[in-house]
Structures are given as C-alpha cells and as structure tokens.
Amino acid sequence: MAPASAPPLTIWAVSDGRAGIEAQVLGLAEAVARVRPAEITVKRIGWRGGLGRLPWRLIPPWALKAETPVAPPWPDIWIAAGRATLPLTTRMRRWSGGRTFVVQAQDPRTGLRPFDLVIPPSHDGLSGSNIFPILGSPNRLSADKLAAELARFEARIAPLPHPRVAVIIGGRSKAFDLPPDRASTMADEIARAAGAAGGSLMVSFTRRTPAAAREIIARRLAGRPGWIWDGTGDNPYFAFLAAADAILVTEDSTNLATDAAATGKPVHVLAMTGAGAKFARFHADLRARGVARPFCGDLTPWAYPPIDETSRAAEALLRRYDAARL
C-alpha cells in the first residue's frame, strides 16, 4: 500500500491506437486510477516506412513515428497491448533500469521474461508466475461510466419502449465472417424476437462489420421501433449497453462480449459464419457463469452478478507493483 503522501502514479497506456486494443490498456489504467491516484498518458504506437509489418523482433526502436514520443522520464507503470508495442515493451525494464513496472495485456506470444505481469484472457491457456488470466479482456466499463453515457443520450433513448434490446454487430476476423446470407437471416431472427417481445432495438456496428452486412441488417430492422446508429455523431455504444434490458452480440469479439457481461444484463450470442477453439472456450466460460446463452429468439430475461474482471486485474497489478517496490 502506497503512503498517503505519495505522489500520483504515472501510467502509460500503450497500443497501436485501434479502438478495441486501446480500450483494453486504457480500461486497465483507469481501473488502477480508481484504486490509487494516477496520471494516465495515452501512447499510440506507429512505425515508419512500413516497418510495422515486419516480425516485431526485426522492428528497430528508432523507426518509431515522431508523433509517438517514447522517451524518459519513464512511467511508474507501462501497460501495453498488441504486437506493435512489443519492440518497446520488451526493452522497457532495461531502459528504465527496472524502475518501470511492465504490464502486457493479451498473450504477447513470446517469452515472458521481459514482463512483470501479463494479463491474458483465460481461454488462451497461458500460465506462469507472472501471469494473471482473466475472463475476456480488460474494458473501460464501470457503473459511473454507464450512467454518464446514458445521461448523454437520454433524450433519444428515453422514449423507446421496453424491453430495449441492444444489438452489437461485429464482423470479419481471422475466425469469423458475416456474409450477406447470414446477415439476412440474423436480421430476420432479431426482428422476429423484437416483434414478439414488443420492445425496441438499439443497433450498433463496428469498424469490422462488412458494408453489405451493415446495409442488409439496417434495412431489415428499419421498421422496428428503436435507433440504428449510422456512424455519424457521437457513438452511443455505451449508452445502448446501459439502457438495454437484453444485449445481443455477435460471437466474433471478446471485447464486445466482455463489455456486455459487465452490465449484468442477459447476453445473447449471435452466431456467425466460422469457428474458433479459443472463442468456443470463452463462450463456454460465459455460459458456465450464467452470463450468456446462444440466441434462440427468446428474450426471456435472467440475471447474474456483473462481471468486473478489469478491477480484479487492477488490484492484482497494484499488489505486484507494491511487492516489487519493497
């Protein structure tokens, strides 16, 4: 435990800037800051001359883009995620003379010695003395954040009839896809369920949603009461989660399902085209905890304690940080 007079921790949240990756490091940093005063700096890593496409071990640190300064004074805690950060993360303890506590979210897929702590999803099966696995991935959700985001969009959401169903659509990845035929079937299944329940839909897409799938789903659900966000203006994603009585989320994203699980609302998993063993283990964990079920058109509610793995990981991080400073 840090003394009451100790200055705020300095934390760098480091990623390549992609929304899903940055949310993990920033969410973990914010969770630490909720426990102990901290100053958080976001770092978005990019590499010059296309060198970022090389295997990370071949990327020289001097190729870092100028708009992403990484230089002393080093932070107390470095929290990073993603392959683009590894040329820096693996050197940080040496550069800082061991002063910086180095944390990597996700499985770095390399030797674990350069890291003080690795926080991978439990479905990756990683183990070791410096491993702290969690269900899913760190996120930026908290009760306060959900309430604040709902308040921002209250005027648009308040008139929507219950049950309000948030529909969060991912898209193409290495394991999954959402071709037009599956998008059509999915939209029809959602429309039937919403019609039977007599409620409204709050629909949000991600950057990975194929354009054809987005168009099909938006068109087929347009006749239902609700709000289909068209990507313009502020993103109501967190407000949708906060306002929902039930959440439908595609099976392709650990981040999306983890966000949904943090609400305590019923999570219905929408099947896509494709499969992945790690995702199957992740969704099996969600089912075992009473969080999620495969979507079958029935919106009968159930309840479970909200999943807050980010706070649990932050507490473990601080315990190990304090122990390393003794």
Higher pLDDT, 142 or 186: 186
Q: For residue 208, which amino acid is it?
A: R
Q: Which pLDDT belongs to residue 66?
A: 75
Look-up of token digits 């989660």: 241
Instruction: Name the 3-class secondary structure at 42.
Output: strand
Are 15 and 44 in contact by the 8 Å Cβ rule? The answer is: yes
Q: List Cα–Cα distances, 9 to 20, 28, 183, 317, in angstroms.
A: 24, 14, 46, 13
What is the band of 69 on the pLDDT scale with cuts at 50, 70, 90? confident
Bridge partners of 202, per DSSP, are: 166, 227
The verdict on 288 and 313 lying in the same domain is: no
Does residue 1 belong to any structural domain of this protein? no
Residue 84 lies in a domain: yes
Query: In CATH, what number is assigned to the domain containing residue 264?
Result: 3.40.50.2000
269 and 313, same structural domain?
Answer: no
Alpha-carbon distance values, 84 to 4, 210, 292 (Å): 36, 25, 32
Counting every residue, how long is the chain? 326
Q: Kindly state whether residues 277 and 149 are assigned to the same domain.
A: yes
C-beta of residue 13 within 8 angstroms of C-beta of residue 41? yes
In a domain, 49, yes or no: yes
CB 182 within 8 A of CB 279: no
> Same domain, yes or no, for 39 and 66?
yes
What pLDDT, in 10s, does the model give residues 103-115?
A: 999 999 999 999 9
**Whether residues 122 and 237 fall in one domain:** no
- Check pLDDT > 70 for residue 184: yes
Residue 299 lies in a domain: no
* 237 in the same domain as 96: no
Neighbours of 63 (CB within 10 A): 15
The range of the structural domain enclosing residue 316 comes to 9-135+309-325
Q: Are residues 170 and 242 both part of a single domain?
A: yes
Pair 111, 154 in one domain: no
The answer to whether the CB of 175 falls within 8 A of the CB of 201 is: no
- Based on the fold, state whether residues 48 and 189 are members of the same structural domain: no
Maximum alpha-carbon separation in the chain = 62
Helix and strand numbers (H, E) in the chain are 10, 13
Mean pLDDT of the chain: 94
In a domain, 301, yes or no: no
Write the single-letter amino acid at 173. Answer: S
Inside any domain, residue 79: yes
**CA gap 35, 313 in Å, rounded:** 12
Question: In the predicted model, is pLDDT for residue 276 greater than 90?
Answer: no
4 belongs to a structural domain = no
| pLDDT over threshold 90, residue 75 | yes
Tell me the whole-structure pTM to 2 decimals: 0.86
In a domain, 272, yes or no: yes
* CATH code (residue 123): 3.40.50.2300
All residues at 6 or more sequence positions from 219 whose CB lies less than 8 Å from its CB, including other chains: none
User: pLDDT for 201-233, tens place per residue?
Assistant: 999 999 899 999 999 999 999 989 999 999 899
- Per-residue model confidence (pLDDT) at position 19: 87
- Residue 1: predicted pLDDT: 58
The whole-number average pLDDT for the span 142-167 is 95
Which tokens go with 202? 């709050």
How many domains in the chain? 2
DSSP 76: S
- Do 166 and 127 lie in a common domain? no
What band does 326 get if pLDDT is binned at 50, 70 and 90? confident
| Residue 182, C-beta contacts closer than 8 angstroms, at least 6 positions apart | 213, 272, 273
Phi and psi at 293, nearest 5°, equal: -140, 150
- Is the same domain home to 72 and 198? no
> Token digits for 96?
């800082």
**Confidence (pLDDT) at 3:** 59
Residue 67 confidence (pLDDT): 81
Residues 131 and 147 in one domain: no
